[in-house]
């Protein structure tokens, strides 16, 4: 690398380090609060919720219907001022089923976005498990 490339690379590294700190603040302020709300709600629905040990730049959460039916939800710091959300479901006799991935910039990672991420993953788990078990919503059965 020439001198300019070294200096430029150094400046980008400073930006990434700064963003990593910002992600940690966002995760401990906003994300933790939303997880607490969903964890409390899940307990009322007899789901078991827990968070994995924090890793720098990553926060992961698990919501389980049963021992072998659960969803893993992750939020990751990516690039500079970007957050990636993804989840995967684990189902009996099917194993891992990929979910949806999305990226947003930090200023879009507000409560409503975090809520929609948790809701999408939880809905997908229950829908997939219901389909696997042949269970349908009461509303669907009433229509038939």
> pLDDT per residue over 25-41, tens digit each?
999 999 999 999 999 99
Residue 134 — very low, low, confident or very high, per pLDDT cuts 50/70/90?
A: confident
Residue 26 lies in domain? 3-143
What pLDDT digit, counting tens, does each position of 37-71 carry? 999 999 999 999 999 887 899 999 999 999 999 99
State the pTM of this model. Answer: 0.88
Q: Which residue has the higher pLDDT, 116 or 93?
A: 116
DSSP letter for 76, please.
E
Q: What is the pLDDT of residue 133?
A: 80
Q: Distance (Å, rounded) from C-alpha 81 to C-alpha 5?
A: 22
Residues 6 or more apart in contact with residue 38 via CB below 8 angstroms: 49, 63, 118, 122
Residue 135 — very low, low, confident or very high, per pLDDT cuts 50/70/90?
A: confident
Indicate the SS3 state at residue 49.
Answer: strand
Q: How many domains does the chain have?
A: 1
* Cα dihedral 61/64/69/70 (nearest 10): -10
């Amino acid at each position: 690398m020439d001198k300019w490339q070294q200096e430029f690379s150094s400046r980008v590294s400073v930006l990434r380090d700064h963003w990593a700190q910002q992600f940690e603040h966002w995760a401990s302020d906003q994300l933790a609060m939303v997880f607490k709300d969903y964890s409390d709600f899940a307990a009322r629905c007899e789901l078991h919720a827990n968070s994995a040990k924090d890793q720098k730049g990553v926060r992961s959460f698990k919501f389980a219907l049963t021992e072998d039916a659960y969803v893993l939800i992750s939020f990751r710091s990516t690039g500079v001022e970007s957050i990636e959300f993804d989840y995967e479901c684990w189902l009996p006799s099917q194993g891992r089923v990929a979910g949806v991935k999305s990226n947003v910039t930090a200023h879009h990672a507000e409560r409503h976005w975090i809520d929609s991420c948790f809701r999408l993953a939880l809905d997908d788990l229950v829908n997939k498990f219901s389909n696997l078990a042949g269970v349908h919503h009461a509303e669907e059965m009433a229509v038939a």
